[in-house]
Amino acid sequence: MEMAIIKAASAIGAGLAMIAGIGPGIGQGYAAGKAAEAVGRQPEAKGEITSTMLFGCAVAESTGIYGLVVAMILLFANPFI
């Protein structure tokens, strides 16, 4: 019985941890929008802008990745079981 509760709570917790995905989603969308604006204003700098945007997006992604790691620990390497 206790085990079942722990497992269910871990699954719910993993789902809740992935709410962290909202933040990077908004941030990356904002960065991509700004990059699109910049390309519209200065199409000849497209390569530079794209690589800068990808770099910034990947760094902004970290918080989402932390959420993912917590979810994966809860699902596959649960310390409570």
Partner 1 sequence: MSIKGPEILFEINILGGIPITETIVGGWIVVAALTLIAFILGRNLSVRNPSKRQLAAEKLVAMLYGLVGDTMGKHNLRFAPLIGTLFSYSILSSLSGLTGMRAPTGDLNTTLAFALMIFFLIQFGNIKNKGVGGWLKGFTEPVALITPLNLISEIANPISMAFRHFGNIASGIVITTLIYAALATCSNALLGWIPILGDIPLLQVGLPALLSIYFDVFTSFLQAYIISMLAMVYVGGANEPSEA
Task: Identify the residue among 19, 30, 50, 66 touching partner 1 (CB under 8 A).
Answer: 66
Comparison of 30 and 66: residue with beta carbon closer to partner 1: 66
Query: Is 18:68 a contact under the CB 8 Å cutoff?
Result: yes
- Per CB under 8 A, contacts with partner 1 among 44-63 are 51, 54-55, 58-59, 61-62
For the bound state, the minimum distance from the C-beta of residue 1 to partner 1, rounded and expressed in Å, comes to 26
69 binds partner 1 (CB under 8 A): yes
Q: How far apart are CA 65 and CA 58, in angstroms?
A: 10
Comparison of 2 and 79: residue with beta carbon closer to partner 1: 79
- Check the CA dihedral 50-61-29-18 and report its sign: positive
Q: How many residues bind partner 1 (CB under 8 A)?
A: 14
Taking CB atoms within 8 Å and a gap of at least 24, the contacts of 31-35 are 31/56, 31/57, 31/60, 32/57
